[in-house]
Amino acid sequence: MKWLITLLLILIVAVIFTLSALIDPGFVIIGRGGWTLETTLSMFLIGLVVSWFLLHHLLRLLKFLWQLPSRFGKRSSWQLQQQAQTSLLRGVLALLERDWQTAEQSFLKAVSPNELSMLHYLGASYAASQVRDHSRMINYLNEIAVKEAPEQLAVTLFTAQLHWQQRNLPAALQVTLRAHSLSPKNENLIMLLSLYLQLADWPALLELLPEVRKRKTLPVEQIQRLENRASVALIQYTLRTNPKQAANWWSQIPKAIRLRPVVLKVYIQHLIGVKEMTAAESLLKEALKYHWDADLIRLYGDVETPHIVQQISYAEGLLKSHEKDPDLLLMLGRLCMRNRLWGKAQQYLEASSHLAPSPVTYKVLGELYTQLEEQGKAGEYYRRGLLLALETSGV
């Protein structure tokens, strides 16, 4: 509709102009120096319009010629982009089909000239990793130039995963630490924990666990199990390789972890083995204030100090709150036997066997009656202990 109105206006103006020219054509004189140009007003106006029309289209032609190279460049760039998108799509489809060689070739056939090139090299590196070509995988990863933090983090984590799949754990750890420095997210912490476990890097694991606890990355129970496992492994490793440094390592473990029975008993067994009975007794007494544990009770019975009377007195003091604990009664019986208090030893051991019969209790009762030269009772308890042991083992 607009073009119809425009055409109508043009016709009206043309008619008015023609009628005016017929009535009074007018004239225009242009002079310069010795030259003079004379024409009618209508012809001058027509010439002016024609000149404007020609100049306008000449300028448009010049602009088109000026932009022609860039237009060809844009078209060429668009074609390259289309080829790169096709290459990327074919590479992804080949990955889904687990055709690693085709995938790698497809990703590299036409690499996007922009930031999408990262996807080409990531896909190619993954395909190379699946055929165990570590060098090509690294070369493709080195081609990736990422500056923005989110993309850099994603690429770093992906690189760590590839190293992990290649069982190159030291490299995976190095890359994961870099990812953790970029963003200490829970996923990075989980990867670090897993790598430290596989590398048996117990000091690093213990150093990382407070951050895991602070960020609530894992349940508290699972964190405690990891702390126990790392601490026990660290103590055992130190005792095997450098037992003289055991006390130093022990002091570096947080007190809350040191006093846990599963951790403490490993170190107590070491102290008893090297005859450091005073230190062992002191640690056991402190731990029993917080944790009532059967293993710790039994270990206290293994501690042989010069002040056996004080040991018995301490253990009897525990009866006030644990009078029916079979492990405590067994431990008291052994201490009394060591101090040749046969009557009290018999009392405690018999009470322990009534509460919870066990092969160990029957064995100690057999030893007690052997000392009392009551061979009949000794043999009977040895027999009971053997039968109970066979029943327990399922033989």
Domain CATH code at residue 121: 1.25.40
Residue 80 lies in a domain: yes
Provide the whole-model pTM: 0.62
Residue 384 lies in a domain: no
Angle among Cα 224, 226, 227 to the nearest 5 degrees reads: 65
User: Domain residues for 129?
Assistant: 72-145
* Burial zone of 242 (CB within 10 Å; 0-12 exposed, 13-18 middle, 19+ buried): exposed
pLDDT in tens, the chain (395 residues): 665 676 566 556 555 555 555 565 555 566 666 666 666 656 656 666 666 666 666 667 666 566 556 554 444 555 656 776 777 777 767 767 777 787 777 777 767 666 667 777 777 777 777 777 777 777 777 777 554 445 677 777 777 777 777 777 887 888 777 777 777 776 778 888 888 888 888 888 988 888 888 888 889 999 999 999 998 888 888 888 888 888 888 888 888 888 899 999 999 999 998 899 999 999 999 999 988 999 999 999 999 988 999 999 999 999 999 989 999 999 999 999 999 999 999 999 999 999 999 999 989 999 988 998 899 888 998 898 889 888 876 55
Q: Rounded distance, CA 58 to CA 106, Å?
A: 48
pLDDT at residue 169, as a whole number: 80
3-state secondary structure of 153: helix
Q: Rounded distance, CA 270 to CA 279, Å?
A: 11
- Determine how β-strand 35-39 pairs with β-strand 28-32: antiparallel
CA torsion 167→173→174→180, rounded to 10°? 140
Residue 93 lies in a domain: yes
- The gap from C-alpha 261 to its chain's centroid, in whole angstroms, comes to 30
Q: Rounded distance, CA 230 to CA 253, Å?
A: 10
Q: What is the per-residue DSSP string for 63-99?
A: HHHHHHHHHHHHHHHHHHHHHHHHHHHHHHHHHHTT-
Which of these, 130, 133, 132, 119, lies nearest to 91 by C-alpha position? 119
Residues 209, 223 contacting (CB under 8 angstroms):
yes
Residue 115 lies in a domain: yes
pLDDT at residue 53, as a whole number: 61
First and final C-alpha spacing in the chain: 105
Residue 92 lies in a domain: yes
pLDDT at residue 168, as a whole number: 76
pLDDT at residue 12, as a whole number: 63
Q: Which ranges constitute the DSSP H helices of the chain? A: 2-23, 41-96, 100-109, 117-130, 134-142, 149-165, 169-182, 186-199, 202-215, 220-241, 246-252, 255-258, 261-273, 277-288, 294-302, 308-318, 326-338, 342-355, 359-371, 375-393
Residue 181 lies in a domain: no
Residues 271, 245 contacting (CB under 8 angstroms):
no
Q: How many CA atoms lie within 13 A of 323 on its CB side?
A: 1
CB atoms within 10 A of CB 380: 15
Residue 42 lies in a domain: no
Which of these, 306, 312, 296, 252, lies nearest to 275 by C-alpha position? 306
CB atoms within 10 A of CB 85: 13
pLDDT at residue 22, as a whole number: 54
Domains held by the chain: number: 1
CA torsion 173→176→182→186, rounded to 10°? -120
pLDDT at residue 16, as a whole number: 57
Q: Which pair of structure tokens corresponds to residue 130?
A: 């699946």
pLDDT at residue 280, as a whole number: 92
Residue 126: partners with Cβ closer than 8 Å, 6 or more residues away? 95, 158, 162
Residue 195: partners with Cβ closer than 8 Å, 6 or more residues away? 164, 169, 172, 173, 176, 201
pLDDT at residue 300, as a whole number: 92
Residue 129 lies in a domain: yes
